[in-house]
Amino acid sequence: MKLTYHGHSVVAIELNNGQKLLFDPFITGNPVTDLKADEVQADWLLITHGHDDHVGDMVPIATRNDATVISIVEITKFAQNEGVTKTHGMNIGGKFDFPFGRVKMVHAQHSSGYEKDGQMLYMGEPAGFILQAEGKTIYHAGDTALFSDMALFGEAFEIDVAFLPIGDNFTMGPEDAVRAAKLLKAKQVVPIHYNTFPLIEQDPQELVDALPAGVGKILAVGESLEL
């Protein structure tokens, strides 16, 4: 499989069978992404929570690609109300076997709401995703603080790659991401959710330097990791 970082928390996964997954498609208004929303190809959209910098272009991308939105039930209901025809609602702790592999929705310590027409809509609980496909295990933490139950993820799964936020202010910073990486026992850790805006400017090298050699991996925007 090929994992590609597209800035902020946007992660694309292309499987060997051709299936294309896209996490948190914040493209329009994203100053650091290399993608164009009207050119993105995706079969599945996985949305960690309801903030606009993660929901992003979910609706137009799903509609144009006839893609399925996978998220917590409140977000999938929102997607349906916006005209998306294919959705799969989940909730914290649940797992499901999709045609591309198994997805488990796990807890994230954050908030979740979407502003529309001057009102904040409740978008369910924030989440992370643990994907098992083609013999590999990928953890996308979404937006989260450090929390001790990450150790349970590390016990239950052999995580090949963990995408962890490091921007601080709204999520973990580099120091807590180092602690999270140790709890998760991930083979590789890729920092996300940083340097998009001034409030979350960070040096990802701090994370890499604090982890054992070879564990931390900085992906430039548009750069891929093959497993």
pLDDT tens for 123-144 read 999 999 999 999 999 999 999 9
Name the phi and psi angles at 145, rounded to 5.
Answer: -85, 170
Q: How much is the mean pLDDT over the chain?
A: 98
**What does the pLDDT read at residue 85?**
98
Can you tell me the distance from the alpha carbon of 8 to that of 32, in angstroms, rounded to the nearest whole number?
7
pLDDT band of residue 45 (cuts 50, 70, 90) is very high
**What does the pLDDT read at residue 189?**
98
pLDDT band of residue 172 (cuts 50, 70, 90) is very high
Mean pLDDT of 195-224: 98
Domain range for 175: 2-226
pLDDT band of residue 55 (cuts 50, 70, 90) is very high
Q: What is the CATH number of the domain that holds 8?
A: 3.60.15.10
Rg, Å, the chain Cα set? 16
Give how far Cα 120 sits from Cα of 4, 53, 71, 116, Å. 32, 14, 18, 6
The domain total for the chain is 1
